[in-house]
């Protein structure tokens, strides 16, 4: 009994505390405890003091602060999302449906399903098509949804793994360019220049590998790594073979970074030459064709002929579109050349490789710091 009374007293105190806090907020008066609370984060304060200082360029408006200056785009898009993926682009997405590459890929199958629905409606009107049981169709549709989802997730896993590998290539190439500029260039500038030139060739040749392009003899990514290791060997000093110092340790670290590029080349080659099982894609395609083909029979005569055709067309567009997206993601380097330069349907490996090469060139051409003592 005493425990019950204690629980009631504690609950009453909590309710009184919440009521007092609500009253303080409503009247605009904050107590000592509420004054110590962390303020609600806004898009400008989420990035720290540098972003919070942008409020100096803002002015109050009816709908909130109007930010001017370089932080205007950041406030409108605080998470640095692509503009065409924002929630305000839905009308643009609807208008671009006729130009969709996904629609072009499935237009034959989509037209066949609509034609089959029209034929089924006509045969049902003259009594040649008996109504089907919708429960069995719905049960198989649940399993089919799991099949399509599992396949699409596996395909996106290949896409994301490829993107991580290209990110690792970027970081490794930066480390190699910085190491060559800091350690090799002051002692052997000719060797450092040749090493950086070979390093610039690696990302572009790796992009060609991802596009199934042929190489000249000795021009494959692994051949480029072999030449980089050779230049690292030539960058060693005469005393490096007898004693190990800080310079020799840095050269060994550079050699390990080149080994990482060799590993990345092999990992990308594994993704390229190991597609998802063909039988998996065939079974999914057959199941989708049968399920969508029998969908008009399950709607029943009460739906109406035009509504039946519209529902079949819309469902076919949804489901076949998801399947087509999964097919594109299976090969993450299948970005078509005439659909854009960004991450539209695959990884733009040419842009990625070119960007890494420019970054290497920028780091390699940076001037040396004055007053640096270089022991030889």
Q: Where are the domains of the chain?
A: 160-275+331-366
339 versus 232: the higher-pLDDT residue is 232
Mean pLDDT, to the nearest integer, of 32-55? 34
pLDDT of residue 100: 86
pLDDT of residue 99: 84
Q: Is the pLDDT of residue 273 over 70?
A: yes
Mean pLDDT across the chain: 77
pLDDT of residue 367: 79
Name the band, by pLDDT with cuts 50, 70 and 90, for residue 220: very high
pLDDT of residue 215: 87
Name the band, by pLDDT with cuts 50, 70 and 90, for residue 8: low
In this structure, how many other beta carbons lie within 10 angstroms of the beta carbon of residue 125? 11
Name the band, by pLDDT with cuts 50, 70 and 90, for residue 123: confident
Q: Which percentage of the chain shows pLDDT scores above 70?
A: 70
- Alpha-carbon distance of 170 to 165, in angstroms, equals 9
The 3-class SS string of the chain reads CHHHHHHHHHHHHHHHHHHHHHHHHHHCCCCHHHHCCCCCCCCCHHHCHHHHHHHHHEEEECCEEEECHHHHHHHHCCCCCCHHHCHHHHHHHHHCHHHCHHHHHHHHHHHHHHHHHHHHHHHHHCCCCCCCCHHHHHHHHHHHHHHHHHHHHHHHHHHHHHHHHHHHHHHHHHHHHHHHHHHHCCCCHHHHHHHHHHHHHHHHHHHHHHCCCCCCCCCCHHHHHHHHHHHHHHCCCHHHHCCCCHHHHHHHHHHHHHHHHHHHHHHHHHHHHCCCCHHHHHHHHHHHHHHHHCHHHHHCCCCCHHHHHHHHHHHHHHHHHHHHHHHHHHCCCCCCCCCCCCCCCCCCHHHHHHHHHHHHHHHHCCCCCCCCCCCC
Mean pLDDT, to the nearest integer, of 64-80? 40
Q: Give me 135's structure tokens.
A: 């429960």
- Alpha-carbon distance of 213 to 225, in angstroms, equals 18
- Alpha-carbon distance of 358 to 349, in angstroms, equals 14
Q: Give me 265's structure tokens.
A: 């080349």
Q: Is the pLDDT of residue 260 over 90?
A: yes
Q: Contact 23/46 with Cβ under 8 angstroms? A: no
Name the band, by pLDDT with cuts 50, 70 and 90, for residue 126: confident
Name the band, by pLDDT with cuts 50, 70 and 90, for residue 12: low
80-94, 262-276, 348-362: lowest mean pLDDT where? 80-94
Which range of 91-105, 136-150, 218-232, 338-352 scores highest in mean pLDDT? It is 218-232
Q: Is the pLDDT of residue 41 over 80?
A: no
Q: Which percentage of the chain shows pLDDT scores above 90?
A: 38
pLDDT of residue 134: 66
Q: Is the pLDDT of residue 24 over 50?
A: no
pLDDT of residue 371: 45
Mean pLDDT, to the nearest integer, of 12-16? 54
First to last CA, the chain: 87
- List pLDDT tens digits, range 286-344: 999 999 998 888 887 777 889 989 999 999 999 999 999 888 888 888 765 555 556 77
Q: Give me 210's structure tokens.
A: 């991802």
Q: Is the pLDDT of residue 122 over 80?
A: yes
Q: Which of 238, 237, 205 is nearest to 222 (CA)?
A: 205
Q: Contact 180/366 with Cβ under 8 angstroms? A: no
Q: Is the pLDDT of residue 107 over 50?
A: yes
Q: Is the pLDDT of residue 197 over 80?
A: yes
């Amino acid at each position: 009994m005493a425990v019950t009374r204690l629980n009631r007293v504690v609950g009453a105190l909590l309710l009184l505390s919440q009521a007092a806090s609500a009253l303080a907020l409503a009247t605009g008066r904050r107590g000592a405890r509420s004054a110590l609370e962390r303020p609600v984060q806004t898009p400008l304060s989420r990035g720290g003091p540098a972003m919070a200082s942008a409020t100096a360029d803002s002015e109050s408006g009816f709908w909130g602060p109007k930010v001017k200056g370089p932080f205007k785009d950041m406030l409108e898009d605080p998470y640095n999302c692509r503009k065409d993926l924002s929630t305000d682009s839905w009308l643009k997405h609807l208008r671009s449906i006729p130009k969709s590459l996904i629609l072009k890929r499935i237009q034959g199958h989509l037209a066949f399903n609509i034609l089959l629905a029209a034929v089924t409606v006509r045969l049902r009107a003259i009594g040649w098509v008996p109504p089907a049981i919708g429960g069995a169709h719905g049960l198989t549709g649940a399993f089919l949804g799991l099949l399509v989802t599992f396949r699409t997730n596996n395909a996106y896993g290949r896409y994301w793994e490829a993107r991580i590998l290209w990110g690792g290539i970027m970081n490794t190439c930066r480390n190699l360019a910085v190491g060559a500029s800091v350690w090799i260039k002051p002692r052997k500038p000719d060797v450092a220049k040749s090493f950086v030139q070979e390093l610039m060739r690696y990302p572009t040749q790796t992009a060609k590998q991802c596009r199934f392009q042929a190489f000249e003899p000795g021009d494959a990514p692994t051949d480029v790594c072999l030449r980089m290791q050779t230049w690292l060997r030539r960058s060693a000093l005469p005393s490096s073979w007898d004693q190990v110092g800080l310079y020799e340790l840095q050269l060994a670290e550079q050699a390990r970074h080149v080994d990482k590029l060799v590993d990345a080349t092999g990992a990308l080659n594994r993704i390229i030459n190991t597609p998802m099982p063909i039988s998996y894609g065939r079974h999914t395609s057959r199941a989708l064709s049968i399920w969508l083909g029998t969908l008009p029979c399950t709607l029943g005569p009460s739906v109406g002929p035009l509504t039946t055709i519209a529902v079949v067309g819309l469902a076919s567009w949804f489901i076949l579109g998801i399947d087509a997206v999964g097919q594109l993601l299976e090969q993450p380097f299948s970005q078509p050349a005439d659909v854009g330069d960004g991450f539209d349907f695959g990884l733009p490996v040419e842009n990625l490789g070119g960007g890494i090469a420019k970054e290497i060139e920028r780091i390699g051409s940076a001037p040396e710091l004055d007053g640096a003592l270089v022991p030889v």
